[in-house]
Each structure stands twice: as C-alpha cells, then as structure tokens.
Structure 1
Amino acid sequence: MQPIAYLNGVFCGMEEAKVSIEDRGFQFADGVYEVIAARSRQPFRLRQHLERLQRSADAIGLAVDLDSLTLPKVIDEGIARCGCDDVMVYIQLTRGAAPRTLECPAAMRPTVVVTFRALPVFSHELRERGVALRSVRDTRWAYCSVKSVSLLANVLLKRETQRDGFFDALIIGPDDLVRETTSANVFAVVNGILRTPPLSEHILHGVTRDYVLECAQDAGIERREEQMLLRDVIVAEEVFLCSTTKDIVPVSSIDGQTIASGLPGPVTRRLLRFFAPPGR
C-alpha cells in the first residue's frame, strides 16, 4: 500500500499533500490531533476518538464543527483507498494559515489533514518479555489532557530515555505521583487491585485506557482510579502500558528494578485477550 492523505476536502498521495509555510500548526504548533487504529478496516472506538478531538479543539478555542467535516465518511473512504487491512489514521486540525503573529486573525479557515498508512506492528517479543522504563520529571505543558500537536517535550523525553537503552520515560509529577509515559497510559496491580491514575489535566484521557477499565469490569477484576506513588508502582505485582497503536504492553522493569518476576502477570494476560478480536 501507499500512504495517502486527505487535505481540506481532497484525497491525494502523501507526497502531493502540501500546506502553507504560514500555517499556524507549522509556525506555532497551534493545532490538535488524534490517532485511530483500524483493524480489519474497522476503526476502533471511532466515536470516542472524534469526541476527544472535538474536546481538544474546543479547549484551544479552535472553531471547528466536526460533524460538518463528515470525518467518519472520510475515514471509511481513506481506509478503502489505502488498500491495507490494518490502518493507522492520523487526524490533525490547525487554526489555519495567516501571517506570523501571536494574535489570531478573525475568520480563519482551519486546516484539516487526515493521513492513512499501515498500522505499525508491535513486537511480539516485547509483548512477551515486557519493556523497561525510566522515571523522569514532568517537563511538559500543563494541559496534557489536550492532544496538542506541540509534542517537543515528549519527543525529547523519549529520545533521551531510548538513547540510554530504555523503551520509554515514565513521567512523574513533582509530588512523586506517576502520571503516564510519553505516549501511553499506565496501569499497575497493587495488592491484587488494578490501579491507574485518575483523569486530570496532567494525563491524556486515553480511549484505550477507558476500554481497559471496561474490560477489567467485564472480567471481574477489581479496579480503581487513584493516585500512585512511584515507589509503590516499582514494587507492584504487575505494571503495563496501554495506547491506541500498541494495545497493552507489559512493563518488566522501572529504573532497573524488576517488576515482580519480570514477565507479564496474570491480570495483564487476561486483559490482553480482550484485544485479540479484530476491531474489538
């Protein structure tokens, strides 16, 4: 398959998609985005992703009515056009193009970009043996619940931890509370109870996170949304990450300390089974 794009109402090849160098997304990171996984050509939780995209747009005062963009139709057509069963759909909305100034000109036309490419296949080996995290202090902006395209802090945190041989950074607040990683929500099994940080402006309101909590309820697993200290997570019985493109990823160690046996635990494996059917 060849990656394809949809730009302001027109489908085209990725190399043909061009935006203005004065687009505020390019100049100021003045925009929001969403990533959706489609397996067997079925977008996973499309409604929830689009609702989150609308919330992000509203949060930055980006005047766009997603209903008028008919994104579900665009996504269905893009998946069909790209010729791949498992597709990563990326949506980006910016405030549009205008001469560079912090003030936002009135009546701007938002730039709408949707891209379609093969969904990356996560390593089976890593899912079986788990990944290593390193804890870092949070250096991101204050509203991580908004999916802003301004991800430089995340890029630097991930780059630095991967340079040192870790899979990702485990982001910690100033009070030693666990938040998330650069691109995933965090769960831990502590004293037999599945726990994850509560929703706040400090973490992404993950669509897959919500799905994991629903799956835990269906499986009869006790779960709680509550704050977790780093020292408690390091000695947890199990730790795992979840995200749109990777589903569930077991964590084998944090800061060089092995989590329990170092292998995926029974709760993690039970929840992984909910991700097996295509499109869930």
Structure 2
Amino acid sequence: MFMYMNGKILKENEASISPFDHGFLYGLGLFETFRIYDGHPFLLDDHIDRLNQGLKEMNILYVFKRHMVEQILRELVVKNGLANARIRLNVSAGEAPVGLHTAPYERPNILLFMQEISVPAGLQEKPGTILKTRRNTPETAQRLKSHHYLNNITAKRELKNNVTAEGIFLTESGFLAEGIVSNLFWVKQGVLFTPSIATGILNGITRQFLLKLAVRKGIDVKEGMFLKKDLAAADEVFCTNSIQEIYSLSQIDGIGVYPGRSGKITNLLYDAYKNYRTSLYSRCEI
C-alpha cells in the first residue's frame, strides 16, 4: 500500500521517523480514523475540527483544512486502487531534544495511510462484557484521541481470545463510560441514553453525529452519569465508532440479554446513518 508522509506519497515500508520524535518518546501525537465510502470521506470536517483542537492543546503548530486532506486522499485512492477504505490521519509532534519540551512543536510529522475495507452488509451484532480494567481519567480537560492507548490495550488483553466481544469500561467511581474502541448507547422506553463526556470518555465523532441524528428523528436523548443497573434495564444496547459504524450488543455478561440486530431504535438509526455515508462532511449538515 502507498501512504502519505510529509508531502510525499510513498510505499508504507519506505516510511520512517526519527527516534527523537516526541510522539515516539513521550506520546505527543494525535490521530483520527475515518472511512471513505465510494471515494467520499464521511464526516471529514468533524474529524479535522477535533484534530485541530487537539493539536492546539498539544502545542503542535499545524492546522488542517478540508481541501488539504482531500487532495491527499484523492492521490492515495488512485495509487492504491481503492474506493472504500479505512483512513488513519496521524500527527506526531516531531523531532526535539530528549527531555520535556514546553516550546511549540513547529515541524510535526504528518502521516496518512489507508487500508481496504468493505462496506458493511448490514447491522452487525456482538456480545459485550463489563471490564475489570477501569477507564483512566483524561490527561487534559477532555480526552484527546492521542497516542496514549495503554488503558485500551490493557482492556483488550483482559478479553483474551474473545476477539468478537466489546469490553465496556466503568470509571473509577463505577459509572458507565465507553467501550474499548467505541461509545456506548442504550434505549429504554424509546429514550436514547449515553454516558456524559463528564465521565472522561472520548467524545467520538460518530457519537456526536448519532446524537444529532437521533434528535432529528424525534428521539429523546439523555446524557448523564449512569450505573450498571441502568444498562441492565435497557431494551436495546449498541455501540458506535467511525470504522464499525453502529453495531448492536446481543448481551452483556452478568447484566442482560438484548434483541441485538433486531432492536427497533438501533435499526432506525442505522438505516438513517447509511443514507448519509456518501455525502456528509459534517453533522452540522443534517
């Protein structure tokens, strides 16, 4: 596969960064993952906005614009011969002397690579499990999509060989948080519930889009601090992320059993989601 790095299109095995890059040494880096459907980068503006906010927080002097990213994507789509792909846009702080660096990073490493991925055939279904590993607290006022992923990896290891399941984090205080790589939702008596970002979760792009989509569909939405008992009483449960879209949970160990891919509200939202995949740049457009 071909990828982009710092203004050049090159083969993935030709890419390299300095061992003094502070994204490597200190985890000072951010990334966004999203999909292109038939060549269209779904919700690209929202991903760029979040990435730019994170870069400002990390004091990395770089600002993305839609046209910049689309130009790279157009070149890579042609080089790789793909119309549907998973995209990772990554910014690493760049090279600096060893030590904690407080000055702005002026020469970050910009990488974009893609992997082939098919369009889902329909709503997917998984089992869930409540993790013993607790969700760590964000390192800044809100969680960034940064290189700091040990908490997620530790949680994934907890699942061992259960590769199809989604693990669900609780906070240290026992509140429902999010999945290992997803945001969590459930339905009770026609109302859509999801943990508040005050729990320290990542404010996922698909999460934000779905909340707006639900309101547009006339569904009441409640964000807040919830416990396992709230999930146990749910009529439907599903998770979201930008790659797996919306996927239902059929059961959660020790909590409850749910209709999975037969969930009425889950299907309503999934069908609406599909209608926007090849056209929207931002949730603000609906």
TM-score computed with the length of structure 2 as normaliser: 0.87
**Aligned partner of 2:278: which letter?**
G
- Take 2:10 and 2:240, find their aligned partners in 1: how far apart are those partners? 32
How far the C-alpha of 1:120 sits from its partner, in A, is 6.0
The residue that corresponds to 2:43 in the other structure is: 45
Contact 1:235 1:259 in 2 (8 A): no
- Take 1:85 and 1:131, find their aligned partners in 2: how far apart are those partners? 30
Report the CA distance shift for 1:243/1:129 in structure 2 as closer, same or farther (over 3 A). closer
- Take 2:87 and 2:192, find their aligned partners in 1: how far apart are those partners? 30
Contact 2:136 2:172 in 1 (8 A): no
The residue that corresponds to 1:223 in the other structure is: 221
Q: Superposed, which structure 2 residues align to 1:2-41 within 5 Å?
A: 3-41=1-39
How far the C-alpha of 1:112 sits from its partner, in A, is 0.8
Contact 2:192 2:221 in 1 (8 A): yes
Contact 1:119 1:245 in 2 (8 A): no
Equivalent residue of 2:33, what SS?
A: strand
How far the C-alpha of 1:223 sits from its partner, in A, is 1.7
Q: Deviations over 1:158-191 (max 9, x none)?
A: 1212435661221111232111111111101123
Q: Superposed, which structure 2 residues align to 1:21-100 within 5 Å?
A: 21-67=19-65, 70-100=68-98
- Take 2:103 and 2:209, find their aligned partners in 1: how far apart are those partners? 40
- Take 1:227 and 1:64, find their aligned partners in 2: how far apart are those partners? 35
Contact 2:133 2:155 in 1 (8 A): no
- Take 1:162 and 1:275, find their aligned partners in 2: how far apart are those partners? 32
The residue that corresponds to 2:283 in the other structure is: none
The residue that corresponds to 1:136 in the other structure is: 132
| Structure 1 stretch displaced more, 259-268 or 44-53 | 259-268
Aligned: 1:205 with 2:196 = no
Count of matched residue pairs: 276
The residue that corresponds to 1:232 in the other structure is: 230
Q: Which runs of 5+ in 1 are unaligned?
A: none
**Aligned partner of 2:94: which letter?**
G
Q: Deviations over 1:195-234 (max 9, x none)?
A: 1122337111111112212221232222222222121112
Report the CA distance shift for 1:26/1:158 in structure 2 as closer, same or farther (over 3 A). same
How far the C-alpha of 1:262 sits from its partner, in A, is 5.3
- Take 1:107 and 1:270, find their aligned partners in 2: how far apart are those partners? 45
User: Which residue, 256, 259, 262 being the options, matches 1:258?
Assistant: 256
- Take 1:107 and 1:195, find their aligned partners in 2: how far apart are those partners? 40
- Take 1:48 and 1:37, find their aligned partners in 2: how far apart are those partners? 13
Report the CA distance shift for 1:188/1:77 in structure 2 as closer, same or farther (over 3 A). same
TM-score computed with the length of structure 1 as normaliser: 0.88
Q: Which runs of 5+ in 2 are unaligned?
A: 280-286
User: Which residue, 164, 167, 171 being the options, matches 2:165?
Assistant: 167
Contact 2:61 2:105 in 1 (8 A): no
Equivalent residue of 1:66, what SS?
A: coil
RMSD: 2.5
The residue that corresponds to 2:278 in the other structure is: 279
Equivalent residue of 2:198, what SS?
A: coil
The residue that corresponds to 2:284 in the other structure is: none
How far the C-alpha of 1:135 sits from its partner, in A, is 3.1
- Take 2:59 and 2:33, find their aligned partners in 1: how far apart are those partners? 20
Report the CA distance shift for 1:123/1:145 in structure 2 as closer, same or farther (over 3 A). farther
| Structure 1 stretch displaced more, 237-246 or 134-143 | 134-143
**Aligned partner of 1:11: which letter?**
I
- Take 1:183 and 1:140, find their aligned partners in 2: how far apart are those partners? 14
Report the CA distance shift for 1:141/1:81 in structure 2 as closer, same or farther (over 3 A). farther
Contact 2:93 2:107 in 1 (8 A): yes
Q: Deviations over 1:2-38 (max 9, x none)?
A: x221111101011111111221112221111111111
